[in-house]
Structure formats: C-alpha cells, structure tokens
Structure 1
C-alpha cells in the first residue's frame, strides 16, 4: 500500500526558530521553519520557510524546489552572476 498524500493546509506544524546553521554574512537574518512533512529517511521535507532580510553563505548539497509567496531571494553561485528569484 502506498503512503497517503500529505496536504499542507491540513497539517499543523510547530514553528522552529533559527534552525539554519548557515554562516551569516550581512545583517541579522532570522528564520522560521514550519515543516509539515518529513519522509521516513529524512531526505524529503515539505513546509514553509520564512526569513527576515540578510545574507548567508549557503552550501546547497540537495536539490530544492521553492515557491515564493512573498519577497525574493538572490542566489550568487561562486564565480557566477547573481540569480534573482521571486
């Protein structure tokens, strides 16, 4: 039997404050994670991520899908032009 579909609006995640371990480079950014689902092996997470303005150094080691509901992000890979996401 397959795992049922998790519908985000039917979940009640607890806020996790400042869970990111990224190096802060500019400003005083803070985050809130609302993880609504985590797979058994921990490789997949679904939820909402909220942050205040700031700049981090991030090492992306996994593929990530993002849907922006508000605001924007600028990702600048080392040695490359900035990528603006809205």
Structure 2
C-alpha cells in the first residue's frame, strides 16, 4: 500500500528558477524559485514551495491554486478588480482563469497546491 500522508521536507538545493508559464515581469526584476515537492498518484495535483523577490508579474492561470503564505507580502490585483493584500499566515485561492498582477512587496515564501 502506498503512503497516503506526505510531509514536506525543507526545499532542496535545485529549485526551478525560470518564471512560471503565463507570468511576465512588468515592474522591477523579480525572481522566483519553485520546488515541486509532491505530485499526486494520478498526476492531477502538484504541491510544493515557492519563493519570490520584490517586483511585479502579470500572471494568467490555467489551473486552480491554494496558497498558504509563510513569509512576505503580496498585493494581488485581478485585471479590472480591487487589490487584495496577503501577509504571513494567510491562506487564499486563485481560481482557474485569473489574469492580473502579483506585486511582491516583501520577499515571499509560500506553500502551494495546484489542481491541474
């Protein structure tokens, strides 16, 4: 029987450092690191850790994402919408179809879970 509980280890030494698909820098020169630490048995869900430095991306989403923000501050603004500020301890969801900006105000570390 496969294990049905997975505990995240500390992120490893080899993150993906390329910007995510659908993310374009629009202010500053922010950088990101992504560690995919777990993939569901059916391949439909990935989860892990993400870090980013200050600056702004315009992002488009083709999947659903749940986030728990551990460090930093982000102002997320859907195109044509009102800004939403998230801080350490906040949990939030970004729905499939989102298009808007992620302004990294303070360096960020988050856990994410994405339903592909």
Bigger-Rg structure (1/2): 1
The TM tier, using the shorter chain, reads 0.7 to 0.9
Q: Could you say what the CA RMSD is over the residues aligned between the two structures, in angstroms?
A: 2.2
Tell me how many residue pairs correspond in the alignment: 86
**Paired residue for 1:8?**
8
1:1-86 to structure 2, matched below 5 A, reads 4-9=4-9, 12=12, 14-21=14-21, 22-86=23-87
Secondary structure at the counterpart of residue 64 of structure 1: strand
Q: Please identify runs of 4+ aligned residues in structure 1 that moved more than 4 A.
A: 10-13
C-alpha distance 9-65 of structure 1, shift in aligned 2 (>3 A): same
| Structure in which a larger fraction of residues adopt strand | 2
Q: For structure 1, which runs of at least 5 residues remain unmatched after alignment?
A: none
Tell me by how many angstroms 1:77 deviates. 0.7
Distance 1:3 1:10 in 2: 19
Distance 2:41 2:28 in 1: 35
| TM-score normalized with structure 1 length | 0.81
| TM-score normalized with structure 2 length | 0.63
Tell me by how many angstroms 1:17 deviates. 1.2
Tell me by how many angstroms 1:73 deviates. 1.0
Distance 1:6 1:12 in 2: 16
Q: For structure 2, which runs of at least 5 residues remain unmatched after alignment?
A: 88-116
